[in-house]
Structure 1
Amino acid sequence: MPVPPQLRALTRPLLGPAADHPPLLGTASRWWVRLLPYGVAVVLIAALLPTTTLLLAHDYRLNSGIAGALATAQTVPLVLAVSRPRHAWALIGSAHVLTALAVLTGPHTDSPWPWTPPGVVGYTFLMAALALRENRQTLVAVWLATGAAGFGIDAIVPGRVGTVMSVTAFTLSGAVLLLVAALRERAEAQRRLTEQEHISEAERARRTLLEERTRIARELHDVVAHHMSVITVQADSAPYRIDGLSEAAREEFAAIGTAARESLSEMRRLLGVLRSEDAQGERAPQPGLDRLPQLVEAVGRAGVPAELTVSDTVRALGPLPQAVDLSAYRIVQEALANVVRHAPGARTWVSATTSRSTEGAVELRITVVNSAPPRSTAGRRAAPVEPPGAGSGQGLVGMRERLRLLSGRLDAGPLPDGGFRIATAIPLDAPPDRPIAADREQEPAP
């Protein structure tokens, strides 16, 4: 039978979730976890409802119907505590007050009053649900209202045995509120700290990416400026090197030289923005694969035994495009720096070979593999220069950015023996007058 719209609109504010909070565990991915709080509430109701009814009817000598109604009011709203704990507290608290007043109308008994033992148990679980959802001000107000109601009703009839139960309910509810609220705030603080760490990590990666792009832009300026300078010199000297040029050809060469000089001026202005004032060393000639032996030797002096293998096909390539040559050197430089920082003393193998991609294009393959750090006589591995997680992955950001500009690929990851492997593939264009030989794909064995 469908629920009438009027009844649904009337019950939605009470039974629906709070506007500022979903139901307890309502965001869990598994359905049985979302239903778990309701299951706990149903179990409590099934245990407390008959117990409270019999206790009020026999020990407190209330009418059976009134006892059942009061017991229902004290226990059934526990289901509401899953989504609206404040509403549940208002209903259950009012039911306890009515029960205490109803007991006053009956014969005098020595049973605990104004709280019943089952009522204290249910109220304790209600406090736990309340502490998981509400702020500190609300929890303090609920705790003070609990004490005021208990001790206030207890003061009406001094002869009743009520002080012990009032103190028990007041103390137990306060302890549960304090403990659960503290655990909730601690979990919330840890969640916010984790979110902040993720945000900081993303910002650090973004900053590293921008810094690497700026560095690449500076280096590309040096590469492009060389070619533009050659164009300028050739255009300006063409009328003196070539006899019999027409006036139109001379004007064309002059226009080419003028355009090249203007382009160089624009690039120098951009370089002034990108290059810091103290980056004088960056104006030196940029390194390439021919500098790898010196780089490996320097790493060896730093305590990392490294071996370099350059295949004959790479040597036969001759001068590589400057962007490819510089990027290959920088990738090896960063990979070796990571070994020094994170795996001091580990044996390292660096190889430069050529291979063919699935499309048949020739690629320059740079591979850097290191073993696990060696163990000391005590069986402990050498401690890394940087603590775990410090700057983790930032060097890979720069490698990927360089390879992205060259349409290259990067494969990086740990090895089963505790080492690490970085493999790159940079496409090469074959010269028009001769093909490029390619090595069979091979990796150095750590």
Structure 2
Amino acid sequence: MVHTAYLGALETWQVVLSISATAAIGAALLFRRQHPVLVLVVVGVLALAKSAVGGPLDAGAIPLALYATAAYATVQTAWIALGTTLVATTTVLGIASLNTGSAEGGATTLIISLTLQVLAGLIGVMIGLRRRYQDALAARVQDARREREQRAELGRITERSSLSREMHDVVGHTLTAIINLSDGAETSFDTDPGLAREGLRRINEIARTALGETRTVVGALRGIDGAAPRTPQPDASRIPELLDTAEATGYQTTLVIDGQSIGDRSTQLSLYRIVQEAITNTMRHGKNATRIDVTISYAVDSITVQIHDDGEPQDTIGQNIEEHSHGQGLTGIHERAVLSGGTSTAGPAPGGGWHVTAVLRIPMAEHS
């Protein structure tokens, strides 16, 4: 309809060019979001070329393409596109008005075009900034969700590793003690029935205690409250029970405690498990060992525990190291110490036998 109004004032080739340019501009604008800069160039060239040859001005074509560029391209690209478009529009329309001799009409057209372009460009910049801000917020939310998922997965892995250590310590110590007690009971069954009966009683007691601890660990592993009966996790106060079990299997034991007990339940559990695993190692691998000495020293910010046995003499030290190092026992001791910020060492003792020494760190906030 706009072009029809100009049919009487334009040459046929101008009408054809104007209609063709307008159709091409409309087609190009369909892709303004996917390729904003390219569309702005195409639309700008067509619109200004049509105006330069005397066709009617498509007042909304360049502003719409400029808005898309400012909204969907970068801020730097938006300002460059706005400045370039203003300069190109001023140059082309100025030259066209001089050629037609209609300075007043050309000035009016130029003012309208520049005003629309400036408004479209500024609105596009603001919309683009808002869109980029929203995208940044969405990306931040996505990153936070991913970070939470990663922390949760890391927590699950850490928990599974902790439960694996617990299961290893409970089952390993219990089975070792039961094997030693059953061997002793079998040996003394004919000669000393009372001693054999005491060994069986100790086996029953140890098995029941281990069953309760195993149910606790399995219940935690399932992650279902009430899935199995729970028993309190052991702490340092139950270390004498470990020595009683060792004595029941034929070892002489001593326990020396220096200082007042400190540490939260997790630290106390780690202390208990370290002593338990060290005693289990002696029962399994301590050749000719008859004595186990446990020393626990409480300091202001740490707990030092040493377990020493009088096993294999120095001449077979290589075989001793190999036997003690086999399995996951020493690895579990080291992991428990490191988790508290401490250290652990294990190896042949200078005076003979084998020692395990671990240092557990206590957070300053706790004992303050």
The interval holding the TM-score normalised by the smaller chain is 0.3 to 0.5
* Structure having the larger proportion of residues in helix: 2
Relative to the length of structure 2, the TM-score reads 0.47
